[in-house]
Chain A
Amino acid sequence: MSAGGRLVDRAQPVHARFDGQPLQGYAGDTLASALLASGRRVVGRSFKYHRPRGLLAAGPEEPNALVTLRDGGRREPNIPATTVELFEGLVAESQNRWPSLDHDLLALFGLGGPLLQAGFYYKTFMGPTAKAWRLYEPWIRRAAGLGRAGRDPDPDRYDKASLWCDVLVIGAGPAGLAAAAEAAGSGRRVVLAEQTPRLGGSGLLDDSDAVVAAEAALAASPDVTILRRTTVWGAYDGMVLAAVERLADHLPAPPPDLPRQRLWRIHAREVVLATGAVERPMVFPGNDLPGVMLADAVLRYALLWGVAAGRRIAVLTNHDRGHEVARRLAGLGLQVTAVIDPRPTAATAAETAALGITVYHGHLVAAVEGRHMVRGLRLAGVDGSAGPVLDADTLAVAGGWTPLVQLASQAGAQPIWDERRQTFLPGPLPTGWRAVGACAGDGLPEVAPLPDVTRRHRGKAFVDLQNDVTAEDVRLAVREGFGSVEHLKRYTTLGMATDQGRTSSVNGLALLAAARDVPIAELGTTRFRPPFAPVALGALAGRSRGAHLRPERRTPMHDWHLAHGAEMYETGLWLRPRAYLRPGETVATAYVREAKAVREAVGIVDVSTLGKIDVQGPDSATFLDRLYCNAMASLPVGKARYGLMLREDGMVFDDGTAWRLGPDRFLVTTTTANAATVLGHLEHLLAVVWPELRVVVTSVTDQWAGMAVAGPHSREVLAAALDGVEMSHAAFPPMGVREARCGAIPVLVARLSFSGERAYEVYAPWTEGEAVWRRLLAAGEPFGIVAYGLEAMGALRIEKGHVAGPELDGRTTPADLGLGRMVSRRKSFVGSAMLDRPGLTQASRLQLVGLIAVDRQPVRAGAHLVESADRAKPGRSLGHVTSWTWSPALGRYAALGLLEGGLRHAGRRLWATYPLRREHVPVEVVHPCLYDREGARLDG
């Protein structure tokens, strides 16, 4: 049209490209309205048959005109052109065609039509022919389908946030605007979400001044949040709804400070569903040809964007509002040639005819003529008689309205059939929900049921345009026994495309009802599930990606580690040094140097990540006695003890130490990985199991920085660095706990060893951690102190046969780990009741052993232990390798493993087999303590 269009500004031309060709529109245009204005009829190819398709709708319900936008990392496929706001420089491509939209060789699929009917995959490639599937799958997947996603990383930012409101109004048409105004007027907090850029909905077609006034009033209210370009796509329990706001999709690229999209989690006390209704097409042969459109869309394109959908328009309708649309189109200067109405009469037919429009009562469209677009319409009487052929290039179909009840359905509502309007209405809604406007059926016209023309007249008649499901597919499904709505959906894929069957569901149900000869009301609808509309994965991820995927916990010595060559490793959420690399070193060489230094001189390791729990109160000792499998109440003040906690079922849960700081006070340490779980376990026991115990547990993990100083010279280092503590063996024996000072900094010191060397753990306030670390390093310099990381720590503990996470795998008992002697038989504790179950005591259980490589091949964790020397026939698994290292002390690969019967195999040769790596390594079974079994080195 040469003028008009309430949404476009003809003074502002906008230039885009579609399939490489220039496309001009105006500010306010959508890609769809610009394509239509440019005369482009074919805008996409169909999913399965590659049939040419044009625009059906003007809104997000569009099933045909899916395009791929942008390129590189911003490439995004399958976007309805009706939802794309035109901007300068927009690049869009059509999809699912080769080599081009107008000449798509893949349309040959259309010729093989009957082969590709519903259930095609199941029938052809299941059962005896299943192997063929592997052959054909890639080829079929390439041919069928839609656009391709890009492979480059998405450069844009996505955001997530929550909103709380009294009333969430979904949809800003006249009913939604009124509901929002009413709620705001009563002082409630309102969120109004509208999926298009403009408020108003159908109001824009009638009285746009009223819309502007309503919008201004809402915008002035401080308690109203208006979210434009926002689709509410999920309804969840507890009145929580999910929405996505497209902040920058209408711009060439997001401005630097703006995320592309924001995911909203909306907590509402009340939900007002004002989502409106979408118009329904009709099912007849050739109903997918470009030029067959929804009548409401034809009117919108003309009124809102000033675009004439065609030069000779016929209207096909089964209700009076269809006549009204025909007259409005004529009033806008469009040439409307005919109204085809299956009803014998229509109330306003005379008004229609008065405008020079021929009304064909009692008629339907039996076929559409044309190959790539509508050239003419062959009518037929509803009684099957032949009808005239009309000259038309556009058929505007008004087949009734379908309220958008999906969100209510997600929330649990069961839509109910309304015979008068031939549609499903929301039905009884959950508490807190209400529907208003067209979504509730208000203002929807009475609609005549449609006679089925698809049995009588030949040609593909489409129900679901996006998934290429035909009327015959529906009947086939019924013939083959898939006659419930849920089965029909899965067998034919009807309604399963990205448009969720907005324009197809009711027509599909009508055909199903006819095929089964039952009323539609009896069929019901499928239960809708989120998302209501496609949501970009980026929006779901939000800011949780890259460096922000998970937060990182840092110890106070973090910066020191980095400054000294540490290669950091994420364990739990902590960042810990794996090894400190000197120039020319790799982790493999650095850890060997570090471990040797610990055995020969002295080393220091950051153990701040260990869980630390302050346990205090008059019943603390009793509590710990019940918690650990070994005795704790007898622990004297000033001593520490290694402790093992079991689960209720008798399996080892966690290990650590308990330091008795006073008669009623302990410091309990846990493994790094289990810190939070252990604290939760303790709190649960105190709150639920033994509420009578007067004990308080508090995490002090972040209060204390921890560092272990280990090696023959560790005592000298501490003696030089600390004051106020006597370091002699007699005054500070193994397992002793002492208070001391490092300069002015108060520290706690315990003589504990994980490495088998004489060692001390020094705990300093977190804020002083780095200072104490540096002082210890300075004091150790004359002794050749080195900082060591996780790899060296692991090697040292494997050499000593100390268990850690890989051995505490939830399936091992204390006896399995060689710690059976720790279990007290004189008290009850968590897990004690279950320890004597036959299954936990049988001799064939997997038990801890040491493993030494016979030759120089690595023995990897995860390898299975077998008796056979033949890699091809390894035989039964007798156990597996849990931890492994190249042992600097032994000069060969060493490992810990869990083996059936454990040390009964000591001295035997087995093979560690790792089929994925084709490794089959001979090993000797030995005692798990591989180094200094007498423990002489503990005392220096």
Chain B
Amino acid sequence: MVEVVVRRPARIFQAAGWPGERAALDAALGAWLGDPPPELGWARSRGSRTGMALAPGRWLLLAETPALPPDTPPLLVTDLSAARVVLRLTGPDLEPLLRKGVGFDPDARAFPPGRVAQTLIHHMPVLLHRIDAPSADLLVPSSWAQALRDWFDDAAAGSP
């Protein structure tokens, strides 16, 4: 049993920078997030804001309430607020359901709360963020959102 809830955070920004400016980047991201930015492959949330470190020098920033992007430079910011939909999956069968779609081990020991990973589910690019043991957020490009929702409905129809 997994419940799927679809939502759109108020703001989604991609922030990018160069490793040589790490201290300045961390300061700008930290100021926006209210916490030091997360390590690569991890998310960190503070209040209504979440930062995810997707790749060296690349972060995705989510704000649940309207917010301005972090001060630039040195960050280069791209507004993706309309470009992503979030599917929140919650339920005891989260892992069996994910195992039908993702190519990495979603077991909480291998993919603990706070971890993020970019992967494909049935050809669709997704960003997976483990919230806690029974729940995860899937960020999917807007044009795929309905197809991904349909895929989950179909995948959940069989027993785990």
Q: Please give me the residue from chain A that is nearest to B96 by CB atom.
A: A161
With contacts A164-B110, A698-B14 taken as known, whether A553 is within 8 angstroms of B79 at the C-beta atoms is no
Asked whether any CB of chain A lies closer than 8 Å to the CB of B84, the reply is yes
Q: Which of B26-34, B36-44, B98-106, B128-136 contacts A (4 or more CB under 8 A)?
A: B98-106
Within 8 A of A (CB), among B11-63: 14, 16, 18
**Cα distance A616–B146 in the bound complex, in angstroms:** 30
Q: Which of A370-378, A639-647, A699-707 contacts B (4 or more CB under 8 A)?
A: A699-707
Using Cβ atoms and an 8 Å threshold, which residues of chain B touch A801?
none
Q: Across the interface, do B154 and A543 meet the contact criterion of CB distance under 8 Å?
A: yes
Q: Please give me the residue from chain B that is nearest to A765 by CB atom.
A: B82
With contacts A162-B99, A259-B158 taken as known, whether A551 is within 8 angstroms of B8 at the C-beta atoms is no
Report which of B78, B81, B141, B158 forms a contact with A262, defined as CB distance below 8 A. B158
**Cα distance A617–B122 in the bound complex, in angstroms:** 33
**Cα distance A556–B145 in the bound complex, in angstroms:** 11
Asked whether any CB of chain A lies closer than 8 Å to the CB of B4, the reply is no
Q: Across the interface, do A696 and B154 meet the contact criterion of CB distance under 8 Å?
A: no
Using Cβ atoms and an 8 Å threshold, which residues of chain B touch A608?
143
**Cα distance A1–B81 in the bound complex, in angstroms:** 74
Using Cβ atoms and an 8 Å threshold, which residues of chain B touch A257?
157-159
Using Cβ atoms and an 8 Å threshold, which residues of chain B touch A699?
141
Using Cβ atoms and an 8 Å threshold, which residues of chain A touch B154?
543, 548
**Cα distance A267–B110 in the bound complex, in angstroms:** 13
Within 8 A of B (CB), among A689-742: 694, 696, 698-704
With contacts A162-B103, A616-B76 taken as known, whether A554 is within 8 angstroms of B82 at the C-beta atoms is no
Mask: chain A, 802-821; 1 = CB below 8 Å from B; 0 = not? 00000000000000000000
Interface of B is mostly: mixed
Q: Across the interface, do B159 and A551 meet the contact criterion of CB distance under 8 Å?
A: no
With contacts A159-B158, A257-B158, A543-B154 taken as known, whether A554 is within 8 angstroms of B143 at the C-beta atoms is yes
Q: Across the interface, do A258 and B107 meet the contact criterion of CB distance under 8 Å?
A: no
Using Cβ atoms and an 8 Å threshold, which residues of chain B touch A553?
143-144, 147
Give min CB distance, B93 to chain A, whole Å.
Answer: 11
Give min CB distance, A872 to chain B, whole Å.
Answer: 47
**Cα distance A767–B81 in the bound complex, in angstroms:** 9
Asked whether any CB of chain A lies closer than 8 Å to the CB of B71, the reply is no
Within 8 A of B (CB), among A598-628: 608, 614, 616-617
With contacts A554-B143, A701-B141 taken as known, whether A766 is within 8 angstroms of B83 at the C-beta atoms is yes
Asked whether any CB of chain B lies closer than 8 Å to the CB of A18, the reply is no
Q: Which of A258, A547, A766, A767 has the most CB of B within 10 A?
A: A766
Mask: chain A, 530-554; 1 = CB below 8 Å from B; 0 = not? 0000000000000110011011111
Mask: chain A, 512-538; 1 = CB below 8 Å from B; 0 = not? 000000000000000000000000000
Chain B interfacial residues counted at CB < 8 A? 38
Report which of B107, B146, B159 forms a contact with A164, defined as CB distance below 8 A. B107
User: Which B residues fall within an 8 A CB radius of A?
Assistant: 8, 14, 16, 18, 76, 78-84, 96, 99-100, 102-103, 105, 107, 110, 122-124, 141-144, 146-148, 150-151, 154-155, 157-160
Q: Across the interface, do B99 and A161 meet the contact criterion of CB distance under 8 Å?
A: yes
**Cα distance A337–B146 in the bound complex, in angstroms:** 71
Using Cβ atoms and an 8 Å threshold, which residues of chain A touch B124?
551
Using Cβ atoms and an 8 Å threshold, which residues of chain B touch A160?
100
Asked whether any CB of chain B lies closer than 8 Å to the CB of A937, the reply is no
Q: Please give me the residue from chain A that is nearest to B148 by CB atom.
A: A551
Q: Across the interface, do A700 and B148 meet the contact criterion of CB distance under 8 Å?
A: no
A-B residue pairs, 3 tightest by C-beta: A551-B147, A164-B105, A703-B83
Beyond A159-B155, A551-B144, list 8 extra A-B contacts (CB 8 Å). A161-B99, A548-B151, A548-B154, A551-B150, A551-B151, A556-B142, A701-B141, A765-B81
Q: Across the interface, do A767 and B82 meet the contact criterion of CB distance under 8 Å?
A: yes
Q: Across the interface, do A701 and B99 meet the contact criterion of CB distance under 8 Å?
A: no
Q: Please give me the residue from chain B that is nearest to A550 by CB atom.
A: B123
Give min CB distance, A555 to chain B, whole Å.
Answer: 7
**Cα distance A341–B147 in the bound complex, in angstroms:** 67
Using Cβ atoms and an 8 Å threshold, which residues of chain A touch B96?
161
Asked whether any CB of chain B lies closer than 8 Å to the CB of A219, the reply is no
Q: Please give me the residue from chain A that is nearest to B147 by CB atom.
A: A551
User: Which A residues fall within an 8 A CB radius of B?
Assistant: 157, 159-164, 189, 247, 257-259, 262, 267, 543-544, 547-548, 550-556, 573-574, 608, 614, 616-617, 694, 696, 698-704, 765-768
Q: Across the interface, do B76 and A617 meet the contact criterion of CB distance under 8 Å?
A: yes
Q: Across the interface, do A766 and B159 meet the contact criterion of CB distance under 8 Å?
A: no
Using Cβ atoms and an 8 Å threshold, which residues of chain A touch B157?
157, 257
Q: Please give me the residue from chain B that is nearest to A558 by CB atom.
A: B146
Report which of B8, B84, B100, B110 forms a contact with A159, defined as CB distance below 8 A. B100
Q: Across the interface, do A258 and B159 meet the contact criterion of CB distance under 8 Å?
A: yes
Using Cβ atoms and an 8 Å threshold, which residues of chain B touch A694?
18
Report which of A161, A258, A573, A702 forms a contact with B83, defined as CB distance below 8 A. A702
Q: Please give me the residue from chain B that is nearest to A258 by CB atom.
A: B159
Q: Across the interface, do A544 and B122 meet the contact criterion of CB distance under 8 Å?
A: yes
Q: Across the interface, do A768 and B105 meet the contact criterion of CB distance under 8 Å?
A: no
Give min CB distance, B120 to chain A, whole Å.
Answer: 10
With contacts A159-B158, A614-B78, A767-B8 taken as known, whether A573 is within 8 angstroms of B100 at the C-beta atoms is no
Using Cβ atoms and an 8 Å threshold, which residues of chain B touch A163?
99
Q: Please give me the residue from chain B that is nearest to A543 by CB atom.
A: B154
Report which of A159, A267, A550, A616 forms a contact with B105, defined as CB distance below 8 A. A267
With contacts A164-B110, A548-B151, A703-B82 taken as known, whether A696 is within 8 angstroms of B16 at the C-beta atoms is yes
Q: Across the interface, do A696 and B143 meet the contact criterion of CB distance under 8 Å?
A: no
Q: Across the interface, do B142 and A702 meet the contact criterion of CB distance under 8 Å?
A: yes
Using Cβ atoms and an 8 Å threshold, which residues of chain A touch B146?
552, 554
Q: Across the interface, do B158 and A700 meet the contact criterion of CB distance under 8 Å?
A: no
**Cα distance A164–B108 in the bound complex, in angstroms:** 12
**Cα distance A701–B142 in the bound complex, in angstroms:** 9
Using Cβ atoms and an 8 Å threshold, which residues of chain A touch B18?
694
Using Cβ atoms and an 8 Å threshold, which residues of chain A touch B14?
698
Q: Across the interface, do B83 and A700 meet the contact criterion of CB distance under 8 Å?
A: yes
Give min CB distance, A478 to chain B, whole Å.
Answer: 48
Using Cβ atoms and an 8 Å threshold, which residues of chain B touch A547?
150
Give min CB distance, A693 to chain B, whole Å.
Answer: 11
Q: Across the interface, do B78 and A616 meet the contact criterion of CB distance under 8 Å?
A: yes
**Cα distance A675–B150 in the bound complex, in angstroms:** 24
- 24 residue pairs A–B, Cβ–Cβ below 8 Å: A157-B157, A159-B155, A159-B158, A161-B99, A162-B99, A162-B100, A257-B157, A257-B159, A547-B150, A548-B154, A551-B148, A552-B147, A553-B143, A553-B147, A554-B143, A556-B142, A608-B143, A616-B78, A694-B18, A696-B78, A702-B80, A702-B142, A703-B79, A765-B82
Q: Which of A159, A189, A608 has the most CB of B within 10 A?
A: A159
Give min CB distance, A262 to chain B, whole Å.
Answer: 7
Using Cβ atoms and an 8 Å threshold, which residues of chain A touch B142?
556, 702, 766-767
**Cα distance A616–B72 in the bound complex, in angstroms:** 12
Q: Please give me the residue from chain A that is nearest to B8 by CB atom.
A: A767
Q: Across the interface, do B123 and A702 meet the contact criterion of CB distance under 8 Å?
A: no
Give min CB distance, A762 to chain B, whole Å.
Answer: 15
**Cα distance A555–B141 in the bound complex, in angstroms:** 11
Q: Across the interface, do B158 and A702 meet the contact criterion of CB distance under 8 Å?
A: no
Q: Across the interface, do B100 and A702 meet the contact criterion of CB distance under 8 Å?
A: no
**Cα distance A160–B102 in the bound complex, in angstroms:** 11
Q: Across the interface, do A161 and B100 meet the contact criterion of CB distance under 8 Å?
A: yes
**Cα distance A767–B78 in the bound complex, in angstroms:** 16
Using Cβ atoms and an 8 Å threshold, which residues of chain A touch B99?
161-163
Q: Please give me the residue from chain A that is nearest to B146 by CB atom.
A: A554
**Cα distance A636–B148 in the bound complex, in angstroms:** 40
Give min CB distance, A34 to chain B, whole Å.
Answer: 29
**Cα distance A791–B158 in the bound complex, in angstroms:** 40
**Cα distance A163–B102 in the bound complex, in angstroms:** 10
Give min CB distance, B75 to chain A, whole Å.
Answer: 10
Q: Across the interface, do B76 and A696 meet the contact criterion of CB distance under 8 Å?
A: yes
Give min CB distance, A263 to chain B, whole Å.
Answer: 10
**Cα distance A696–B77 in the bound complex, in angstroms:** 9
Using Cβ atoms and an 8 Å threshold, which residues of chain A touch B147?
551-554
**Cα distance A164–B106 in the bound complex, in angstroms:** 9
**Cα distance A157–B143 in the bound complex, in angstroms:** 27
**Cα distance A553–B157 in the bound complex, in angstroms:** 22
Give min CB distance, A694 to chain B, whole Å.
Answer: 7
